[in-house]
Amino acid sequence: MFTDALLVAGKVLLCLVSLGGLALIPFGLPGNVVVAVLALLGPLLGLPWSDFWIVAGAAAAAEAIEFVASLGLARRTGASRVGLWGAFFGGVGGAILLTPVVPPFGTIFGGAVGSFVGAALFEFQFARRGGGRSLQVGLGAFFGALLGRLAKIWIGLFQVGWLAFALFS
């Protein structure tokens, strides 16, 4: 009886800590990877290794989707390397500045707005692109950063849901 209670407590604890990993994602931290690492404990709690590989694969997909979305949309709108660097630095700066305002939404939107501002300014100033072209690149960076982060959150919800379902079904 004691071992059954300990097993249930371990499962509940794993789910709760996984939720903590999920909470890291909006702040730009690798919460998907944290959830995947926590899933390594699943086999100790009776889960097959296939559940770990599903959660780990989702984490890898989340990172790839964020990378492709954030850089891909900016690149698709004509961003130069300078504009991509501007989007990166602007995204980091915007996330830092707006996180204290409305956490975690300030981080999500701050990163997207910062990517817009950084990409547009760098394109205009350093790549010598006209204002309209710079704004177009900035919009691509904005939507790419926003879509990438939102995709990571949705995938994180899938990861935690998969773990919880696998542990308690």
Question: Which mean pLDDT values do the consecutive 10-residue runs of the chain (169 residues) have?
Answer: 81 95 89 95 93 96 91 88 93 89 84 93 84 89 93 96 94
Q: Which amino acid is at 169?
A: S
- Is the distance from CB of 84 to CB of 71 less than 8 angstroms? yes
What is the per-residue pLDDT across 104-148, written as a single tens digit (0 to 9) for each?
788 889 999 999 999 999 999 887 777 788 899 999 999 999 999
- With tokens 């996180």, the residue in question is 99
Q: At how many degrees (to 10) do helices 2-24 and 31-38 cross?
A: 160
pLDDT at 93 (0 to 100): 92
| pTM for this predicted structure | 0.84
Q: What is the rounded CA–CA span in Å between residue 56 and residue 21?
A: 13
pLDDT at 2 (0 to 100): 52
- The encoded tokens of residue 103 equal 């956490």
pLDDT at 3 (0 to 100): 82
pLDDT at 37 (0 to 100): 95
